[in-house]
A and B are shown apart, each in its own frame.
Chain A
């Protein structure tokens, strides 16, 4: 990693920590960052707080902190998986959900909540349904896109898009026949995404999965670079494109499934953050894969903060805010730097 990227990474890490502290303090009850730090310190070290502060402490520690951390984790994960998927399918318009994951997760979650399946898992039943739906969808896409010559990038994209339409149709049918409006709101949640359901209990699995994926991806930087020259050229450089694609497909599917299961399908981050980061630090994946998760995490923390404070107590859909913030930033950067992806 060269100096400029290290500087970027350190600066973004500082911004991320600051953003988490600020976001944990803001909401209907505003708590100063100093107080927030004191509560978090007390929670982590088992320190004492005054009895008149229990309510605010509970708000910070039990409600806001897991939510803000979840936003950071999912933002980081979506950005990293977005980078990987764009390189895998060699398509600038790809995002983590192009593999059919989001609609598959919706079908799984809604199916479970309507049918009452997986009841043995208690409050995690719906998340488990979403995860299984996401993996099932990825598996279907993978099997349908596979050919004797390996998985072709374009075929993967087309299959993913086609499958997404299929799952949407299934969703429509479920909603149409569902006895109540609960199914409709469930569908809305899983397709739009949100962190409203975050608890400490929902954090560990997705945190471990996302961190593990980020660590594993560090080994794939050069392989992803070389894939952009084409499969045959990659092969002539000793990189087996098919096996790289297979491995990373599994990684992307599991990570996306784990994220969708806790937060629904939050669009746009996985599409645009990779591009913004490439504009900032160049195309080399060794650099992009360090910076993109940090940018994704910071962006997601702030987007979530805006979504829950602007029209409180209602929440704006996250996807609407990511797009409102991201589109202008993206267009400005793209025009100023003369960014090229796949040609002029």
Chain B
């Protein structure tokens, strides 16, 4: 089990600061949600974890190790990612795509061992795609493909999972199942979610990004207040408690979204 720490992480692209001095802890075994408006830097933060981008300042640490000191393969053995790339170019079967998750564990071109196959089979079963194993990924629906790619990330057997909008394309049942699975996975999870109500029930902690700056972090109940949602998202909401688990849930009243003839919000 590993803890993920953002230590003054800054990312600058073409002189534009995208993320500024982010300090955030993802404790071992917890699910932390990252929320914020479009373009607030959420995906950039995740990219620094799965090594698609390098920090321009600060560091991302896995326990005490600076990720920048690990080779891509070393960090891929410990961190798996679901990116926003939801397409596959070639006509691979579902089983083949899930088996790509074993790549960091297989030096060179070594073929899958019996254990590798078991790991893949288990991952497919958990994402409810085992019956699709021999189907072409290109023939699947968007939601099915998303589940295949998540199974691929699980097959990597990572200590840390980072997921960029994993509930995209998923129907309600699979959204709930996925977040349940993340909660019960025992792994350290950092996830970007757009649905604040789902985030509130699924995450131990939530970090709120706006303009590349972490404006709040803490338990869902601490963070998801009407004032913060107003400030960050520019929307008025009513916050109620979930009758069973006490998680904050946001109710929208459409009147706040009405647009007057000048295009201004009423």
Contacts of A341 in B (CB 8 A): 89-91, 138
- Given A278-B90, A278-B91, are A236 and B96 neighbors across the interface (CB < 8 Å)? no
* Interchain residue pairs A-B with the least CB separation, the first 10: A238-B76, A230-B85, A238-B73, A236-B81, A283-B90, A228-B89, A340-B138, A236-B50, A238-B104, A232-B52
- Given A236-B50, A237-B101, are A230 and B83 neighbors across the interface (CB < 8 Å)? yes
A247 contacts the other chain (CB 8 A) = no
Nearest chain A CB to B73's CB is how many angstroms away?
Answer: 4
A-B contact pairs, 24 of them (CB 8 A): A218-B109, A219-B108, A228-B88, A229-B97, A230-B87, A232-B52, A232-B84, A233-B85, A235-B72, A236-B51, A236-B76, A236-B79, A237-B156, A238-B72, A239-B103, A278-B90, A278-B91, A283-B90, A339-B91, A340-B139, A341-B138, A342-B87, A342-B89, A344-B139
B217 contacts the other chain (CB 8 A) = no
In this complex, what residue of A is CB-closest to B47?
Answer: A232
Nearest chain B CB to A284's CB is how many angstroms away?
Answer: 6
User: Once bound together, how far apart are the Cα atoms of A343 and B71, in whole Å?
Assistant: 33
Q: Are A222 and B109 in contact (CB under 8 A)?
A: yes
Question: Hey, what's the 0/1 contact readout for A198-238 against B, CB within 8 Å counting as 1?
Answer: 00000000000000000000110110011011111101111
Q: Are A232 and B83 in contact (CB under 8 A)?
A: yes
A315 contacts the other chain (CB 8 A) = no
Contacts of A343 in B (CB 8 A): 87, 138
A286 contacts the other chain (CB 8 A) = yes
Nearest chain A CB to B233's CB is how many angstroms away?
Answer: 27
B257 contacts the other chain (CB 8 A) = no
Count of A-B contacts with CB under 8 A?
Answer: 104
User: Once bound together, how far apart are the Cα atoms of A160 and B92, in whole Å?
Assistant: 28
Q: Are B91 and A229 in contact (CB under 8 A)?
A: no
User: Once bound together, how far apart are the Cα atoms of A87 and B89, in whole Å?
Assistant: 9
Contacts of B87 in A (CB 8 A): 230, 342-343
User: Once bound together, how far apart are the Cα atoms of A272 and B227, in whole Å?
Assistant: 60
User: Once bound together, how far apart are the Cα atoms of A7 and B136, in whole Å?
Assistant: 23
A308 contacts the other chain (CB 8 A) = no
Contacts of A222 in B (CB 8 A): 100, 103, 106, 109
Contacts of B90 in A (CB 8 A): 87, 225, 228, 278, 283, 341-342
User: Once bound together, how far apart are the Cα atoms of A283 and B51, in whole Å?
Assistant: 27
The contact size tier of chain B is 35 or more
Contacts of B81 in A (CB 8 A): 232-233, 236
Contacts of A344 in B (CB 8 A): 138-139
Residues of A within 8 A of B (CB): 1, 87, 90, 218-219, 221-222, 225-226, 228-233, 235-240, 278, 282-284, 286, 339-344
User: Once bound together, how far apart are the Cα atoms of A229 and B99, in whole Å?
Assistant: 12
Q: Are A282 and B93 in contact (CB under 8 A)?
A: yes
Contacts of A226 in B (CB 8 A): 100, 103
- Given A282-B91, A284-B92, A341-B89, are A236 and B109 neighbors across the interface (CB < 8 Å)? no
Q: Are B85 and A229 in contact (CB under 8 A)?
A: yes
In this complex, what residue of B is CB-closest to A342?
Answer: B89
Beyond the given A225-B90, A235-B50, A343-B87, please list 19 additional residue pairs across the A-B interface where CB-CB is below 8 A: A87-B89, A218-B109, A219-B108, A222-B103, A226-B103, A228-B88, A232-B47, A232-B84, A233-B81, A236-B51, A237-B103, A237-B156, A282-B92, A282-B93, A284-B96, A339-B91, A340-B91, A340-B136, A340-B138
Contacts of A235 in B (CB 8 A): 50-52, 72
Contacts of B73 in A (CB 8 A): 238
Contacts of B76 in A (CB 8 A): 236-238
User: Once bound together, how far apart are the Cα atoms of A236 and B161, in whole Å?
Assistant: 11
In this complex, what residue of B is CB-closest to A224?
Answer: B90
Nearest chain B CB to A229's CB is how many angstroms away?
Answer: 6
B167 contacts the other chain (CB 8 A) = no
User: Once bound together, how far apart are the Cα atoms of A218 and B110, in whole Å?
Assistant: 11
Question: Hey, what's the 0/1 contact readout for B58-92 against A, CB within 8 Å counting as 1?
Answer: 00000000000001111111011101110111111
User: Once bound together, how far apart are the Cα atoms of A256 and B84, in whole Å?
Assistant: 35
User: Once bound together, how far apart are the Cα atoms of A1 and B110, in whole Å?
Assistant: 10
Contacts of B47 in A (CB 8 A): 232
Q: Are A283 and B101 in contact (CB under 8 A)?
A: no
Nearest chain A CB to B110's CB is how many angstroms away?
Answer: 9
User: Once bound together, how far apart are the Cα atoms of A8 and B70, in whole Å?
Assistant: 41
Q: Are B50 and A232 in contact (CB under 8 A)?
A: yes
- Given A218-B109, A229-B100, A232-B47, are A238 and B85 neighbors across the interface (CB < 8 Å)? no
Query: Which among B83, B90, B96, B138 has the highest number of chain A CB atoms within 10 Å?
Result: B90
User: Once bound together, how far apart are the Cα atoms of A278 and B89, in whole Å?
Assistant: 12
User: Once bound together, how far apart are the Cα atoms of A341 and B139, in whole Å?
Assistant: 10
Question: Hey, what's the 0/1 contact readout for B238-264 against A, CB within 8 Å counting as 1?
Answer: 000000000000000000000000000
Contacts of A221 in B (CB 8 A): 109
Query: Which among B50, B84, B89, B109 has the highest number of chain A CB atoms within 10 Å?
Result: B89
Contacts of B50 in A (CB 8 A): 232, 235-236
Kindly identify which residue among B71, B74, B79, B83 contacts A233, using a CB–CB cutoff of 8 Å: B83
Kindly identify which residue among A219, A229, A236 contacts B52, using a CB–CB cutoff of 8 Å: A236
In this complex, what residue of A is CB-closest to B100?
Answer: A226
- Given A236-B51, A236-B80, A237-B103, are A229 and B88 neighbors across the interface (CB < 8 Å)? yes
Q: Are A283 and B85 in contact (CB under 8 A)?
A: no
Nearest chain B CB to A43's CB is how many angstroms away?
Answer: 37
